Amino acid sequence: MLRAALDARAPLEAVFYADDGSAHAHIAELLDRASAAGIRAYRLGPGVLERISDTVTPQRVLGLVGFIDVSLDAVTESSPLVLCVDVRDPGNLGAIIRSAHGAGAAGVICVEGTADCYNPKVVRSSAGALFHVPIVLARDTDAVLRELKDAGFRLIATVASDGEDYASFDWSGRVGIVFGNEANGLPPTLSSFLGQSVSIPMAKGAESLNVAMAASVLLFEVARRRRVAGTDSP
C-alpha cells in the first residue's frame, strides 16, 4: 500500500516502522524511497505498532497519508465513471475501486450511504488502487446525477434482472455506471435520472452476482470495447 502511495505521489506525511532486529529488505527499500521523497520516518519501540494498528498481525511499517478525494468537476471530462449508491460493505467498495483502476475507469463517485472510502478495510481491499483512481465523495445523490447528466453522461442503472444484456449494450460515449445497495439495489427515486439499465445474464437458479464482481464484469467489458475500437474512451 505504501509503495502504491509513493508511486502515485499521494500526500504521504510520515512513515512509522518497527525495528524488531530482523532483516526486512522490502521495508528498508521503502524507507529509502520515503527519505528520498523528503518524508520523515519514525522508529517505534517494541509493542507500539501492535497497539496503534487496527489489524491483529500488522505489517512492520505504517504510513500517514492525507485525504486524496477530488471534486466532481475533476472527473467529468472522461469516461467511464463508477457511481456507488449506498454500497455499504467496505470490502465491496475497495474491490470496486480496485476493478475501476484495473479497467481504466475515469473515477469512482461515492454518494450518500456508501462506506467511507478511508475506512481501513476499504483502503486494504483496494490493494493500492485507491491512490491511482480519482475518488469523489458527495452527499447529495440527486445533485451528482443531475450534474453528470448536464455534462453529457448517460447514467446506466445496474439491475439484477430485466435490464439489457451488458454484452450487447451500447457503451459508447460518456457513461456513468450506477451500482446500488448490496441487498436492495438502487432506490426507485433515482429512476428519473437513470434512463437505461443493464443486467448480467445468470445461469438458471442463480440470483445475482456480488456488487463488486458485477462491477468488474461491466467495467472490463467497457475496457474491452475500448481496446477493440482502438480509442482512449469508450
Final residue in a domain of this structure, among 12, 39, 65: 65
Q: Are residues 180 and 210 part of one domain?
A: yes
Q: Is residue 234 part of a domain?
A: no
- Residue 12 falls within a domain, yes or no? yes
Q: Say yes or no: 91 and 47 in one domain.
A: no
CATH for 56: 3.30.1330.30
Q: What is the pLDDT of residues 194-209, one digit of tens each?
A: 989 999 999 988 888 8
CA–CA distances in Å: residue 169 to residues 158, 166, 218: 12, 5, 10
Residue 158, SS3? strand
Helix axes 90-102, 211-229, angle to 10 degrees: 10
Q: pTM for the whole thing?
A: 0.91
What pLDDT score was predicted for residue 31? Answer: 92
The structural domain count of the chain equals 2
- Which of 48, 65, 82 is a domain's end point? 65
What is the domain extent for residue 52?
2-65
pLDDT bucket at 234, cuts 50 / 70 / 90: very low
How far is it, in rounded angstroms, from Cα 122 to Cα 93? Answer: 6
